[in-house]
Chain A
C-alpha cells in the first residue's frame, strides 16, 4: 500500500537531509506508528506520501500511484485516496460539524444526494450522531478531533495519515481517539500515525517504525515506544 525505495529528501535551506536513504513498506490494512524525536523526519515522511514534497532521490508509491513521478494533474486523485488528521484538527470554524464533513465531499464534486446520505453515516461511526448541527467551538477537543477524523474518512480513503492526532488531548480522550482509529483500521484502511505519545504506542502493541536524523533505526512488528525512555 505504501512503499518507499531509497528515499532521500534534502531541503534547499538545510545541508542535512530530512530523510536519508529510507526504504520501507506498509501493507494494506496495517496499523503503523511512526515515531522519533522532533526533526527526525516524520513530517517529511508524511508530506512525501501526500506529494506536498517531492523526494530528492528514490521512489514513493501509495496504492498504485507513483507519487514522486506523477503529473500535477493526477495529484488530486492521490489525495482523494488519502485521509489526513492533524494535531490542530483544522476545522472550518464558520461551518457546522456536518458542513465540515460535507465540505470534503463538496470540493471534490460529489453529488448532493450522496453527501446527504454518507455524512450522517460517518458521523455515527465516529460517535457524533446528534451533534451534526453544532459549531466546532461548542465541542470538546476530543469531539473536534472526531469531526476531523470523520472528514478524513468520509470519502473512504485507502490510507489514513494521522500527524500527532492526540497531541492536544488528555490521556482518556486520546484513548478514545485511538479506539476510533482502530475501528477505522478494521475496515481495511491502512493507518499511519506519527506520534510522541509513549503510552499509546506501548499499549497498542502495533508495528513501530522509528526515525532518527532521517534514518530508520527500528522497525518492530509489535513494538513499544522505546526501551528505557
Chain B
C-alpha cells in the first residue's frame, strides 16, 4: 500500500467537493457536541448524587405548639417522637433543632439575601428533628410512620426533592441525547451521500483502478479515510464548541457552581469525554463509509 498515493487521493477528494465536506463536518460537530453535552449532564448528575446522597436527611417538622413551648424536647409529644424515631430501624442519628437554632440556620443559609432574613420571623420556623438514615432511599418509611402523628406538622424527605431535581436533569439529558441522535442520523446520511458523490465524481479513476486490478482496499480506502478525516475534524470542532460552552457557562453561572449547589463542570470534564466523542466519530464515519461503499458504490 503506497500511503502517499492514498493520502493525495484523500486530499483531492475532500477538496473536490468542499461544500459537502464542510456540511459533513458541521453536522458531525453538532451531533457530537450534543452527545458531549448529554455526557456532561450524566457526569453532573452522578456527581450530584455523590455529593448529596451522604448529606440527605429527613426533616420531621413539629407543630407550632411544640415549637413554641418545648425548647429542649423534654416534654411530650416531642420526647416520645424522638425515642420513636431513634427506635426506628435504619435510623443513624436524630438531632433536635429547636426554633431558635432553626432560625440561626435559616439566617446562615440566606445570608446573601438580607431582605429575606429581615422578612422572616423566628415564629415561622418550626422546631425540627433532623433524621439521618443509613440508607437515604428508605426515607419513605419515616415519612409514612410519622406523618400525622401528634405534634408533627409535616415530614420532608430531602431525597424526594433531590430526586425531582435529578429528574429534571435526566429529562434534559434525554432531550439532548435525542437531539444528538437525530443530528447523528443527519450526519450519517450526509457522510453516506458525500461518499456517493465523491465516488461518482471519481468514477473514471475508480473504473480504471478496477480495470487494472487494484484491490478493493486500494480503491475504497481513500473514500473511507475521507469520511473518517471529516468525522475526526467534526469531532474536534464539536469538542471545541463544547469547551467554549462550558467556559461560557462557568462564567455566567459562576455563583451557582461556587456555592456548591451544582457540582462544578470544568474543562477537565470536557477533556475526559473528548476521547469518547472522537472514538464515536471515527467508528460511525468508518462504518457508514464502509456500508455505503458496499451497498451503493460498485468499486
Contact = CB atoms under 8 A, between A and B. Distances in A.
A104 B211 CA distance: 9
A107 B218 contact: yes
A80 interface: yes
The secondary-structure label for the interface of chain A is helix
A80 B204 contact: no
A61 interface: no
Contacts of B214: 76, 107-108
Contact of A79 (B2, B204, B205, B213): B213
B218 A84 contact: no
A82 B213 CA distance: 9
A79 B204 CA distance: 17
B295 interface: no
Given A92-B205, A106-B5, A109-B1, A79 B211 contact: yes
Contact of B212 (A73, A92, A112, A155): A155
A78 interface: yes
A88 to B, nearest CB: 10
Contacts of B210: 79
A87 to B, nearest CB: 14
**Most chain B CB neighbours (cut-off 10 Å) among A72, A75, A78:** A75
A109 B204 contact: no
Nearest to A107: B214
Interface in B211-232: 211-216, 218-219
B213 A76 contact: yes
Contact of B204 (A75, A92, A104): A92
B212 A79 contact: yes
Contacts of A75: 213
B204 A90 contact: yes
B245 to A, nearest CB: 43
Place the interface of chain A in its size category: 20 to 34
B276 to A, nearest CB: 35
A70 B1 CA distance: 23
Contact of A90 (B1, B2, B5, B208): B208
Interface string B178-212: 00000000000000000000000000110111111
A86 to B, nearest CB: 9
Interface string B106-130: 0000000000000000000000000
B213 A90 contact: no
3 A-B pairs with least C-beta separation:
A80-B213, A79-B213, A107-B214
Interface of B: 1-2, 5, 204-205, 207-216, 218-219
12 contacts: A76-B214, A79-B213, A81-B213, A84-B211, A90-B207, A103-B205, A104-B208, A104-B212, A106-B5, A107-B208, A107-B212, A109-B2
Given A72-B216, A76-B213, A108-B214, 7 more contacts: A80-B213, A92-B204, A103-B208, A104-B208, A104-B212, A106-B5, A107-B219
